[in-house]
Structure 1
Amino acid sequence: MVVVTEQHKPNKTHILIFPFPAQGHMIPLLDFSHRLAVRGGGSISITVLVTPGNLHFLRRLLSSTAGEINPLVLPFPSHPSIPNGVENVKDLPPSGFTSMIHALRNLHAPLRSWISEHPSPPSAIVSDIFLGWTHRLGLRRFVFSPSAAITCCILNHLWLEMPTREKPGDDNEVLEFRKIPTSPKYPWWQVSTIYRGYVDGDPFWEFIRDTFRDNWASWGLVINSFSDIEGVYLEHLKRDMAYDRVWAVGPILPPPGHDNDRGGPTTLPIDHLMTWLDARDDGHVIYVCFGSQTVLTEAQVRALASGLEKSGTHFVWVIKDSACDTIPGGFEDRVTGRGLVIRGWAPQVAVLNHRAVGAFLTHCGWNSVLEAVASGVLMLTWPMQADQYTDANLVVDQLGVGVRVCEGADSVPDSDELARVLAESTTGKREEKERAKKLSRAALDAVGESGSSTKELDAFIEHVVSLGQAK
């Protein structure tokens, strides 16, 4: 099945948007598409490619952009390691990212056909960082990075230079990136899981390697970040990629009213949650959430529950349905009045922006980091995988707006120490909190009418329109 809408006018520059089907990747690119449509002032029209199982993510976007954005729905391609009907990484085991990257390349032929048959074919494509093969569609390809600029710097270094351990088998060996500003360094076990899985000579992994190398060879790069937090890394990317076509357009936040309907099922109505927060003192609530993919182990759930209970703090804890059975018996009764446990999903941006929320215990996914930055909330960091370690280091060591709590997908915090940090996050940490508020003002200024990210967005639109006019 292919759904094509014919609303593209010849006098507009047509752009194709292709998100990667993982919530943390898809949502910021769709929000960026909304900003493109609104800011484009009628000079561009946009097609967003999704598979049938993810079409629902477009509903609000399509209804709010008055025909400037249209869907292209292509069947999800079959793949031996992906069960039929699974179209989102969150439904797959941890290896699902690489399988999904590999599977989606099979959309190359139908997408080429759609481009060649369209009466007003796109002049450019903006596609996710995991979709490097779209560089070979015959369009100017702009990479969209939902990750930080420093992560882009690190990925370029990894996949172009292919560094290895001097002591094979030693996962604690430190890998230092001396060519990147601040010379970031990480133990091997914190380096990209996808990179560590690379097997030289295996066609599957050679494709994965080429995916990231194609990012470096693409026409331009759009990053969900802003100059006040990553200016040094943005400048490095321009030097590293040997062009100035790098646009920092973040923080990309949901349009007003869009945050409340973008998640999944929840056990607590949104108005109930907001009413509960309204009754709390300013800055005295800790928001606890580990993103759309992380599932805490039973030991982690019990340690976290114990730490929350001992801390005496007010909190909202969002926990995935699959981990709910491991919550200690009687916990919710014992914290009645000061704690809410939400099974499933919560409107994170709205919660973080509530005056009662003063701290955020987070896995440090980049979307969560930017949402916390924009909200001026202190971050308590517990990175689990991938670029989350990089994000946590940026938050704590460079920006000074966070405090380390734990790190690692298998680590279990000491509940007494956790309780101490949680309690202190609402009563102390004044320097970090002041920096968080200052950084929030910078983030909101960046996306204001005359802010750096708005200017970058305008420059990107101007560049894309010029490509369309040159056709």
Structure 2
Amino acid sequence: MTNTNTGSKTHILVFPYPAQGHMLSLLDLTHQLATRNIFITILITPQNLPTLSALLSAHPTTITTLILPLPPHPAIPPGIENVKDLPGSAFKSFMVALGGLYDPVYKWCSNHSNPPVAIISDFFLGWTHRLACDLGIRRYTFSPSGALALSVIYSLWKYQRKRVNLEDENEVIKFTKIPNSPEYPWWQVSPVYRSYVEGDPDSEFIKEGFLGNIASWGLVINSFTEMERVYFDYLKEELGHDRVFAVGPLLPPGVKTSERGGPSSSNVLSWLDTCGDRMVVYVCFGSQLVLTNEQTEAVAVGLEKSGVKFVWSVKEPTVGHVAADYGRVPEGFEERVAGRGLVVRGWAPQVAILSHDSVGVFLTHCGWNSIMEAVAAEVLMLTWPMSADQFSNATLLQELKVGIKVCEGASTVPDSAELAELFRKSVSQETRLERERAKELRKAAQEAVGEKGSSVCELDRLVENLKH
């Protein structure tokens, strides 16, 4: 841990969940708070410390670290400290293992010369509400998901939504209290919630955590009022207070956008420089999801038949994938599309790609960070939600008329001819209404984070709340 003489400056503890999709936006929030004269300690595991390097360099006297190793858990192989390296079956165990940090964090807070007055922690760390109560300080839940998705998640845990027919994965769960009455088949409901087993210690720990989120003093969401106003109003009504802060879109500050999440890949950007405005389709399914060979082939054939220009970020198989069954681009594909398409293996500079004037369409898994980045870049989205909050996110995009449905589900293989037609249509005048909506939403996002914008005012309101 770095020692800093904090004096009487307001000091808070920030605790991100160790997964890239969760960490990035909370670290962007941390930057915003640091610029507003809040002293911050970030709780981080040793392997994830490099993620903080740019932030620590930008705020050497304002941000410090508390480095604690991940407590052992029988389901987690030694040396793993990040969700992306986990076997799929160990996801819940990881949430439980992090709860083992309760005692060391309690001891650190109790012995600090200027102890934190509040904890801001990810919604997968709901146990920190109990920690904050025991310390006599406030806990603010940070949601890396949007307000609609969070409304659905809270409704599940608060009202313990269940199926009538336990054999029917397609039984529809209706959320009639939430604005626009969203509904989803059971298989699209949060996998963390679906895996709950009454009486199981790990399940009960996670349930207690989500109920702790609902009971927390405040809620900070990476979204903005103009995008999800009805859902922010609903959450305030459900929680019974107005300490719900819409602070998004949280995007990287003061760093090269091409380097967000990894090193730059300038050949992609220089190739995009040669393409026409809004004529390129970007295809990417996030930092963790890997397509099967059948899905990869369907996307490849769709891109080839469509004739559109494209950049395709192909994720290589990782832990838990049989390499021969995943992510294999058809032989000869790259040669056949040479000149109008690029395949990027592994990480791609997504923020920089989406922000490029030539990119107008994004085939996405509907992860919330990807959506926020696309909204800020005025990009029309083709939706293929796979899991977790992504189905709710796709619902929102279609409500806002900035998203067009491709298909749903991690095992679905889209029809390549239909996909080709959708690619072709997406860059044509046939989607001018959706493109106009994307333009309006981008303007609203820019205004939200601009001078006296709604998200700036919400950040200032959050800071005042932290200080008093």
The TM tier, using the shorter chain, reads over 0.9
- Which of 76, 85, 94 is equivalent to 1:82? 76
Gaps of 5+ in 1: 467-471
Judging changes above 3 Å, is the alpha-carbon distance between structure 1 residues 262 and 370 closer, same or farther for their aligned structure 2 residues?
closer
* Counterpart AA for 1:201: G
The equivalences for 1:15-414 within 5 A come to 15-38=12-35, 40=36, 42=37, 44-137=38-131, 138=135, 139-264=137-262, 270-322=265-317, 326-396=328-398, 398-414=399-415
Bigger mean CA offset, 92-101 vs 67-76: 92-101
What CA distance in whole angstroms lies between the structure 1 residues aligned with 2:396 and 2:212? Answer: 26
- Does structure 2 retain, via aligned residues, the 8 Å contact 1:57–1:262? no
Paired residue secondary structure (2:361): strand
Does residue 468 of structure 2 align to residue 463 of structure 1?
no
CA deviation vs aligned residue, 1:198-238 (integer Å, no higher than 9, x gap): 11111111111111000011110000011111111111111
What CA distance in whole angstroms lies between the structure 1 residues aligned with 2:311 and 2:5? Answer: 45
Paired residue secondary structure (1:453): helix
* Counterpart AA for 2:72: S
Question: How big is the shift at 1:107?
Answer: 0.5
Paired residue secondary structure (1:321): coil
Tell me which stretches of 4 or more aligned residues in structure 1 moved more than 4 Å.
Answer: none
TM-score, normalisation: structure 1: 0.95
What CA distance in whole angstroms lies between the structure 2 residues aligned with 1:8 and 1:392? Answer: 46
Question: How big is the shift at 1:68?
Answer: 1.1
Question: How big is the shift at 1:29?
Answer: 0.2
* Counterpart AA for 2:3: E
CA deviation vs aligned residue, 1:295-352 (integer Å, no higher than 9, x gap): 1111000111111111111111111122776111111111111111111111111111
What CA distance in whole angstroms lies between the structure 2 residues aligned with 1:8 and 1:162? Answer: 46
- Does structure 1 retain, via aligned residues, the 8 Å contact 2:291–2:327? no
What CA distance in whole angstroms lies between the structure 2 residues aligned with 1:12 and 1:282? Answer: 48
Judging changes above 3 Å, is the alpha-carbon distance between structure 1 residues 53 and 174 closer, same or farther for their aligned structure 2 residues?
same
Q: CA RMSD in A?
A: 1.2
Paired residue secondary structure (1:448): coil
- Does structure 1 retain, via aligned residues, the 8 Å contact 2:290–2:327? no
- Does structure 2 retain, via aligned residues, the 8 Å contact 1:8–1:14? no
CA deviation vs aligned residue, 1:357-416 (integer Å, no higher than 9, x gap): 0100000001111111111100000000011000001101x1000111111000000111
- Does structure 2 retain, via aligned residues, the 8 Å contact 1:284–1:357? yes
What CA distance in whole angstroms lies between the structure 2 residues aligned with 1:13 and 1:21? Answer: 25
What CA distance in whole angstroms lies between the structure 1 residues aligned with 2:105 and 2:276? Answer: 53
* Counterpart AA for 1:7: T
What CA distance in whole angstroms lies between the structure 1 residues aligned with 2:442 and 2:27? Answer: 23
CA deviation vs aligned residue, 1:443-467 (integer Å, no higher than 9, x gap): 110011110000000000011011x
Question: How big is the shift at 1:264?
Answer: 4.3
- Does structure 2 retain, via aligned residues, the 8 Å contact 1:286–1:315? yes
* Counterpart AA for 1:210: E
Residue in 2 that maps onto 1:469:
none
Residue in 2 that maps onto 1:419:
420
- Which of 4, 7, 22 is equivalent to 2:4? 7
Judging changes above 3 Å, is the alpha-carbon distance between structure 1 residues 325 and 379 closer, same or farther for their aligned structure 2 residues?
closer
What CA distance in whole angstroms lies between the structure 2 residues aligned with 1:263 and 1:445? Answer: 25
The percent identity for this pair of structures is 56
CA deviation vs aligned residue, 1:177-198 (integer Å, no higher than 9, x gap): 1111111111111111111111
Question: How big is the shift at 1:275?
Answer: 0.7
What CA distance in whole angstroms lies between the structure 2 residues aligned with 1:100 and 1:26? Answer: 15
* Counterpart AA for 1:284: M
CA deviation vs aligned residue, 1:239-261 (integer Å, no higher than 9, x gap): 11111111000010111325333
* Counterpart AA for 1:160: K
What CA distance in whole angstroms lies between the structure 1 residues aligned with 2:194 and 2:165? Answer: 14
* Counterpart AA for 1:294: L
TM-score, normalisation: structure 2: 0.95
Does residue 449 of structure 2 align to residue 447 of structure 1?
yes
What CA distance in whole angstroms lies between the structure 2 residues aligned with 1:187 and 1:97? Answer: 22
Q: How many residues align?
A: 456
Judging changes above 3 Å, is the alpha-carbon distance between structure 1 residues 250 and 166 closer, same or farther for their aligned structure 2 residues?
same
* Counterpart AA for 1:37: A
Residue in 1 that maps onto 2:320:
none
